[in-house]
Amino acid sequence: MEVIVQRDYAEMSKVAAQIVAELLNTKPNAVLGMATGSTPLGLYQELVRLHNKEQLDFSRVTTFNLDEYVGLPMSHPQSYHYFMHEHFFQHVNIPPHNINIPSGTTSNYSAFCEWYERRIGETGGIDLQILGIGTDGHIAFNEPTSSLSSRTRLKTLSKQTIDDNARFFERREDVPVYAITMGVGTILNARKLVLVASGKSKAKAIAQAVEGPVTSMVTASALQLHRDAIVIVDEEAASGLTMREYYDFIYAAKPAAPRA
């Protein structure tokens, strides 16, 4: 795992966007895994800027989103369909038929989940998956005790996640209790993982995910099993890491390091 510590949220977002841009410049028809939440917003803003100012082209890109709330129609301002359209898709040139987001309103969830997994496979698999992390250590909505080989399925949200996400809804009771989410196994199949985290509230989850044991109690710790996982954090989110100097040393030495 590579850990990159940046000064603040803006720098964290830029470094993550640069990794996505480098992929698109070498593979214009890349398959991107997208994440929602407040953390990747800066990364999306930077990608939109690169699209507008530096002609970063998304015309051959395919996307798969990690998750969606069950029961919210696409037009609901807190649905992840709405979020992605609002903050990213309407600002870049991804063909609409290349955009895939789990349905929160299907009449048959198990058939939909199977189809979603199949569809990812048909496109050749996800080249780069963007991830956030929950304060309970989740990736996507893979809450504590999720199987580390899980696939796309329905999940019940943890109390912690419902509390964390209540800020986006009028009342706590309005937060959906269920979500449809890619599994940890689905995520680990992506060829590259880029996890972004910012702020003090993420420090404990990041320390557990990066330096703790691999455990389904912190599903982000499964990134330790992946051969190309990059964790990009700001100073506050890095504050619980004990190997901080080592990460900085590797990052600073990178341009001169022998190439694999």
Is 8 annotated in the active site?
Answer: no
Candidates 133, 179, 187, 238; binder of ligand PGA (CB under 6 A) is 133
Task: Assess 38 for contact with ligand PGA (CB under 6 A).
Answer: yes
Q: Does 240 contact ligand PGA by CB under 6 A?
A: no
Q: Which stretch binds ligand PGA (CB under 6 A): 8-16, 46-54, 94-102, 127-135?
A: 127-135
Q: Which positions from 189 to 228 touch ligand PGA by CB under 6 A, shown as an x/- string? A: ----------------------------------------
Active site residue 164: no
CB of 175: closest distance to ligand PGA in angstroms?
Answer: 12
Cα(182)–Cα(141) distance, integer angstroms:
8
Q: Does 134 bind ligand PGA (CB under 6 A)?
A: yes
Q: Is 145 in the site for ligand PGA (CB under 6 A)?
A: no
Q: How far is the CB of 209 from ligand PGA (least distance, A)?
A: 12
Query: Applying CB under 6 A, which of residues 42, 104, 132, 176 lies at the interface with ligand PGA?
Result: 132
Are 181 and 113 spatial neighbours (Cβ–Cβ below 8 Å)?
Answer: no
The DSSP code for 95 is -
CA distance 141 to 257: 36
- Which is catalytic among the residues 46, 68, 127, 143? 143
Total H helices, total E strands in the chain: 8, 10
Terminal Cα distance for the chain, rounded: 15
Identify whether 67 is a catalytic site residue: yes
Q: State the number of CA atoms in the 13 A half-sphere of 149 facing the CB.
A: 0
Q: Which helix (H) or strand (E) segment is 184 a member of?
A: helix 184-188
Task: Quote the least distance from Cβ 5 to ligand PGA, whole Å.
Answer: 18
- For residue 36, the minimal CB distance to ligand PGA (Å) is 8
Vertex 16, ends 11 and 21: CA angle to 5°?
A: 120
**Burial track 132-148 (b if 16+ CB lie within 10 A, e otherwise):** bbbbbbbbbbbbbebeb
- Specify the long-range contacts of residues 75-82, CB closer than 8 Å, at least 24 apart: 78/168, 78/169, 79/104, 80/36, 80/104
Q: How far is the CB of 139 from ligand PGA (least distance, A)?
A: 7
Of the listed 136, 164, 234, 235, which one is catalytic?
A: 136
Q: Binding to ligand PGA by residue 37, rule CB under 6 A? A: yes
Which of 125, 134, 119, 112 lies closest to 195 in space, CA to CA?
134
Choose one: 15-23, 35-43, 81-89, 235-243; the region binding ligand PGA (CB under 6 A).
35-43
Residues forming the active site: 67, 136, 138, 143
Q: Which spans of this chain sit near ligand PGA (rule: CB under 6 A)? A: 37-39, 132-134
